[in-house]
Amino acid sequence: MLRRLVVFMLLLSACSAAPSTEAAADLPVVTVGEFEAHLAGLERPAIVNVWASWCLPCRSEAPLLTRAAEAHGSAIEFIGVDVQDTQPEAKQFIVEYRLTALDHFFDRNRSIPNHYKAFGTPITLFFGPDGQLIRSHEGIMDERTLALNIDELLQLDR
């Protein structure tokens, strides 16, 4: 009886293991020009979070971004830009922190944050519905700051 229970528990734990990232597609690599064209084509405000799997503050910020994207994803586009990373580590980070509500791009050389003169990681960039940068926030984002910026973006979109 005990042996069957142990086997059952092992099977159950194997079924509930974290999803594998091996089959997941790589994040699309994007140039600055392609990124700007993407933003301009949205016709709604966007929040762009620059992150990396090796960034400890990014790990603290991830749940906040997931909740915000789930709550406001119909009105605001949420985008992640992974910088100075590898594709396998990026995919693992997205799965581990449940960042699937965001669209993600891969920017190995930091060309996108450099283009917007933003330094460090994490960085959060706020864009109007016309694709123009409104504000950037360097460093970890707290809930209040994100909420205030979301409110401002929602006002712009009316």
Domain boundaries, the chain: 44-156
Domain 44-156 sits in CATH at 3.40.30.10
Answer positive or negative: Cα dihedral of 135, 138, 140, 142. negative
Given pLDDT bands bounded at 50, 70 and 90, which one contains residue 4? very low
* Listed residue (29, 137, 17) closest to 90, CA to CA: 29
**Strand 103-107's sheet: what is its strand order?**
103-107, 77-83, 46-51, 123-127, 133-138
User: What is the rounded CA–CA span in Å between residue 151 and residue 93?
Assistant: 28
> pLDDT higher for 13 or 104?
104
The model's pTM is 0.84
What pLDDT score was predicted for residue 157? Answer: 57
Residues 56-82: tens digit of each pLDDT: 999 999 999 999 999 999 999 999 999
Residues 17-62: tens digit of each pLDDT: 444 545 578 999 999 999 999 999 998 999 999 999 999 999 999 9
Residues 104-139: tens digit of each pLDDT: 999 999 999 999 999 999 999 999 999 999 999 999
User: What is the rounded CA–CA span in Å between residue 30 and residue 105?
Assistant: 6
